[in-house]
Amino acid sequence: MKVTIFGTGYVGLVTGTCLAEMGNHVVCVDVDAGKVERLKQGDVPIYEPGLEPMVIRNHEEGRLDFTTDAAGGVAHGDIVFIAVGTPPDEDGSADLQYVLAVARTIGDHIDRYAVVVNKSTVPVGTADRVRGAVAEQLAARSSMVPFDVVSNPEFLKEGDAVEDCLRPDRIVVGSSSAKAIALLRKLYAPFNRNHDRMVVMDERSAELTKYAANAMLATKISFMNEMANIAERVGADIELVRQGIGADPRIGYHFIYPGAGYGGSCFPKDVQALARTAHAAGYDARLLGAVEIVNDTQKSRLFELLSGHFGGELKGLTVAVWGLAFKPNTDDMREASSRRLMERLWEAGAKVRAFDPEAAGEARRLYGERDDLQLVERPYQALEGADALVIVTEWKAFRSPDFTRVKSLLSTPVIFDGRNLYDPATVEEAGIAYYGIGRGRSL
């Protein structure tokens, strides 16, 4: 099939590549000429396991192309995806300017029936606005080309994006057009062979499904962080509590890890945007507000533990940080907890020496050259003469360190384990002071 994707970020690039992998002819359009040029050279600007070789192969085999030519892109696709960003507006609601700009571009150039598929995370009612924007441009050029708009939210996880895209656990399709649904069923058939994963519904329900999913996941995290904060104060170990509650199949073990707060480009903005949608509809979403507040407080937790340990005297200290990305297997640092920690450390006059397997380049892009940030190439290099080690991201490489070596390299042997990776007793037996999240010992 002929497919066009507007936006070559995490969602657009991964979707386009996976669709090309299944034999479709995919054209990816982006306004960022630099990105398009890099992609044409086989240089993938984001880190996502398995993505680069797949992009290169499909590009070389002629199924995947990149362009800034929006008119050509619209002309190519029988199915045209919108996968551009929906960042938070000043009031927290989703900023739809990029989505609507693409819709207008489609309306400007569409010349035969096409299905416009919105993959961006957008507030309820956006499918109607996209339909309106396309129709307005068509009317402006007195054209009567038929089209359908489908809401097809994306559930891939950064770090597992290719795998999620190739083996989705569900494909939500919101549409009232039988013709559009049939086309999407055909497009997604190769991803849908083992059993039917397609959940068909109306556009509004599809739009809300995406927000409900992210809000539920964010709620689980904030709930566990709240339990961790209680555990800390009453002398309980949240890691034991976690296993105790996870054993109940109604609760389950997934996604109930306490930590240094959630970040990334999705949970923070989507929880806020859903709260704004609710507010605009006359409903005060108090739970969502609490989820956000708990998370914001939690992002400062590591700094507070450090400050408490050093009696508020952080000036002149060097803090080793393991992990900058908002989660493992990505280089994405949007809203990452590491940023809150580093920024507060800098404010307090401390220096940061950081290691991340993939995000050093992103950190350099975000913060530039500065005296109080050193990015190192190997994990133990970060520790040499540092006053503390803080674990912010749970990369596999950090799970089982040589604690004897850690102790010998640190000038003050103390670990702040923001992801509860270690057994406190093991760390302490190695002669290193240990702070975790909610481990009954951090008062």
Residues carrying an active site annotation: 266
**Binder among 9, 72, 88, 132 for ligand NAD (CB under 6 A):** 9
**Does 31 engage in binding with ligand NAD (CB under 6 A)?**
yes
Residue ranges in 320-359 that form contacts with ligand NAD under rule CB under 6 A: none
- Provide the minimum distance between the beta carbon of 309 and ligand NAD in the complex, in angstroms, as a whole number: 34
Of 261, 276, 254, 253, nearest to 228 by C-alpha is 261
Query: Minimum distance between the CB of residue 31 and ligand NAD, rounded to whole angstroms?
Result: 4
**84 vs 406, beta carbon nearer ligand NAD:** 84
Asked if residues 83 and 12 have their Cβ atoms less than 8 Å apart, the reply is yes
Residue nearest to ligand NAD (CB): 9
What residues form DSSP beta bridges with 174? 151, 201
Residues 246-265 that bind ligand NAD (CB under 6 A): 265
Helices (H) and strands (E) in the chain, counts: 17, 14
Footprint (CB under 6 A) of ligand NAD, residues 58-117: 83-86, 98, 101-102
286: CB partners within 8 A, 6+ apart? none
Nearest residue to 173 via CA among 147, 148, 206, 211: 206
Nearest distance, CB of residue 182 and ligand NAD, angstroms = 25
Total of residues contacting ligand NAD (CB under 6 A): 26
Candidate list 1, 2, 32, 407; residue touching ligand NAD; CB under 6 A: 32
Give yes or no for residue 120 binding ligand NAD (CB under 6 A): yes
Torsion angle of alpha carbons 181, 64, 357, 340, nearest 10°? Answer: -50
Of the candidate residues 3, 4, 10, 228, the single one contacting ligand NAD (CB under 6 A): 10
CA-wise closest residue to 149 among 121, 171, 133, 130:
130
**What is d(CA 160, CA 278) in angstroms, rounded to the nearest whole number?**
31
CA distance 377 to 41: 26
Site string for ligand NAD, 395-424 (x = CB under 6 A): ------------------------------
Residues in the chain: 443
Among 3, 4, 16, 35, binds ligand NAD (CB under 6 A): 35
Backbone angles phi, psi at 326, to 5 degrees: -70, -20
Q: Are 41 and 80 in contact (CB under 8 A)?
A: no
The three-state secondary structure class of 364 is helix
Which of 31, 360 has the CB closer to ligand NAD? 31
DSSP state of 78: S
Spatial contact of 437 and 418, defined as CB atoms under 8 Å apart: yes
Provide the mask over 156-185, with x wherever binding to ligand NAD is found by CB under 6 A and - wherever it is not. x-x---------------------------
Tell me which amino acid residue 284 is. D
| Minimum CB–partner distance for residue 273 and ligand NAD (Å) | 9
Residues 263-302 binding ligand NAD (CB under 6 A) are 265-266
Residues of this chain that bind ligand NAD (CB under 6 A): 6-12, 29-32, 35, 83-86, 98, 101-102, 120-121, 154, 156, 158, 265-266
